[in-house]
């Protein structure tokens, strides 16, 4: 079978599974295959289905990445964005989510730790996704996966300050949970979407950022050299948040980590969670809040968080630099993607650019003023 005929077969299967027209299923598949992390956690779908059916004694009627089916695709997402997060429809009750951790960096022990953290959150009545089975972690070909309950309602709209208030209050509740041993005490707070190669404390985001730059250093030309050197300097001199107050925290906390309806949301995506400086999660929530309806949303975030936690003077002092920690990760990734795609990256565009420094200073001032009200 040729590569082209194999692609058409996969597109037809996708159309049957999702109810899409063939042309739309094919377009979605082409888009998915262009995503940066589409192959970071590979799996074979037929083998996965058979494994889950045997292990859990269920009959699966459908198993697809959550972005494949328009009916389950989160608001604002796109095909290939969450390739290793699958919706499992089966004869045992409500659908499940299965998350695959199959990169060369992923450890089964870390997935088992995810389940332990979810149990801890359930014990403390924190609104998060819940494990779907008493034995939620299973291993296929030496790599782990975890099953959780599918939550109805989809991703809530981030247009209302009320949603940002709710997100911030939940984050503060998370940060006030008691310390514990085991997985709850593991290093956490960094992004793990790249395959878990830099999972751990927020400082790992800087290691990942530098790795993105180094991976394309040999492609840097005169047109991209200025941005490359500026980004490298930003990474080398960034604040890693070490030494600030710590708590159990989330690795990617913003409205895309929420599922449900406003007033009754649950937080999902706990693979990057663990103990680490608490400020980066709040900073990322603030940074995303400022992207739309900024003044009202930023004010809502600080009001919600301040219901349970008052930031220290040092946290306020270091907030401007921490506000750019995750944007720097995103921009270094974007730089790599641009060079690999043959596009010249522009210095004055994207999540992180020279103007981002003064933007973060203004945002930190606004956040501090809102916290004092």
Confidence of residue 106 (pLDDT cuts 50, 70, 90): very high
Write down the pLDDT at residue 7: 60
Write down the pLDDT at residue 300: 97
User: Is residue 161 scored above 70 in pLDDT?
Assistant: yes
pLDDT in tens, 123-132: 999 999 999 9
Identify any residues that bridge with 139 across adjacent strands, giving them in sequence order: 144
Give the C-alpha separation, 337 to 333, whole Å. 6
| 3 state DSSP class of 219 | helix
User: Is residue 214 scored above 70 in pLDDT?
Assistant: yes
Q: Considering only CA atoms, which of 366, 96, 350, 342 is closest in space to residue 227?
A: 350
Looking at CATH, the fold of the domain delimited by 161-372 is given as Aminoglycoside 3'-phosphotransferase; Chain: A, domain 2 (3.90.1200)
User: Is residue 145 scored above 90 in pLDDT?
Assistant: yes
Asked if residues 191 and 253 have their Cβ atoms less than 8 Å apart, the reply is no
Spell out the alpha helix ranges (H) of the chain.
3-18, 22-33, 45-56, 108-123, 161-175, 203-214, 222-236, 279-289, 294-306, 313-322, 325-341, 354-372
Asked if residues 182 and 116 have their Cβ atoms less than 8 Å apart, the reply is yes
| Overall average pLDDT of the 236-254 stretch | 98
Write down the pLDDT at residue 195: 87
User: Is residue 77 scored above 90 in pLDDT?
Assistant: no
Spell out the alpha helix ranges (H) of 70-220.
108-123, 161-175, 203-214
Confidence of residue 97 (pLDDT cuts 50, 70, 90): very high
Write down the pLDDT at residue 68: 87
Write down the pLDDT at residue 1: 42
CATH 3.30.200.20 segments of the chain = 36-149
| Overall average pLDDT of the 45-68 stretch | 95
Could you give phi then psi for residue 354, rounded to 5 degrees?
-50, -35
Write down the pLDDT at residue 18: 74
Write down the pLDDT at residue 372: 87
Q: Considering only CA atoms, which of 40, 78, 137 is closest in space to residue 256?
A: 78
CATH 3.30.200.20 holds for 36-149: yes
List the structure tokens of 170: 């939940």
Write down the pLDDT at residue 19: 74
- For Cα atoms 167, 309, 261, give the angle at the middle one, nearest 5 degrees: 15
Asked if residues 332 and 213 have their Cβ atoms less than 8 Å apart, the reply is yes
Write down the pLDDT at residue 14: 64
Per the model's pLDDT, the better-predicted residue between 4 and 249 turns out to be 249
Confidence of residue 254 (pLDDT cuts 50, 70, 90): very high
- pTM, 2 dp: 0.92
DSSP-derived secondary structure letter, 131: B
Residues of the chain with pLDDT > 90: what percent? 76
| 3 state DSSP class of 39 | coil
List the structure tokens of 353: 């650019």
């Amino acid at each position: 079978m040729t590569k082209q005929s194999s692609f058409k077969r996969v597109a037809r299967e996708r159309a049957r599974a999702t109810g899409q027209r063939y042309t739309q299923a094919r377009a979605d598949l082409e888009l998915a295959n262009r995503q940066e992390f589409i192959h970071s956690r590979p799996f074979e779908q037929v083998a996965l289905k058979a494994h889950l059916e045997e292990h859990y004694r269920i009959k699966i009627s459908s198993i697809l990445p959550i972005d494949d089916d328009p009916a389950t695709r989160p608001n604002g997402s796109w095909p290939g964005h969450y390739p290793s997060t699958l919706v499992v429809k089966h004869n045992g009750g409500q659908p499940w989510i299965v998350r695959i951790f199959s990169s060369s960096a992923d450890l089964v022990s870390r997935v088992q730790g995810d389940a332990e953290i979810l149990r801890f959150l359930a014990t403390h009545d924190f609104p998060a996704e819940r494990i779907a089975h008493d034995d939620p972690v299973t291993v296929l070909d030496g790599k782990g996966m975890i099953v959780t309950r599918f939550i109805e309602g989809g991703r809530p709209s981030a247009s209302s300050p009320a949603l940002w208030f709710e997100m911030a209050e939940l984050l503060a509740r998370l940060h006030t949970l008691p310390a514990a041993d085991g997985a709850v005490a593991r290093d956490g707070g960094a992004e793990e979407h790249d395959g878990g190669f830099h999972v751990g404390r927020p400082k790992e985001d800087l290691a990942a950022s530098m790795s993105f730059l180094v991976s394309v250093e040999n492609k840097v030309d005169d047109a991209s050299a200025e941005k490359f050197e500026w980004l490298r300097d930003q990474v080398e001199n960034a604040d890693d948040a070490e030494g600030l107050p710590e708590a159990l925290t989330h690795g990617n906390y913003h409205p895309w980590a929420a599922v449900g309806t406003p007033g009754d949301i649950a937080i999902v995506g706990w693979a990057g969670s663990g103990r680490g400086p608490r400020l980066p999660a709040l900073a990322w929530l603030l940074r995303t809040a400022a992207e739309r309806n900024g003044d009202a949303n930023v004010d809502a975030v600080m009001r919600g968080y301040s219901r349970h936690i008052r930031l220290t003077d040092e946290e306020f002092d270091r907030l401007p630099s921490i506000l750019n920690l995750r944007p720097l990760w995103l921009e270094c990734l974007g730089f790599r993607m641009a060079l690999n795609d043959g596009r010249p990256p522009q210095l004055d565009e994207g999540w992180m650019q020279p103007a981002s420094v003064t933007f973060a200073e203004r945002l930190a001032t606004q956040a501090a003023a809102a916290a004092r009200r």
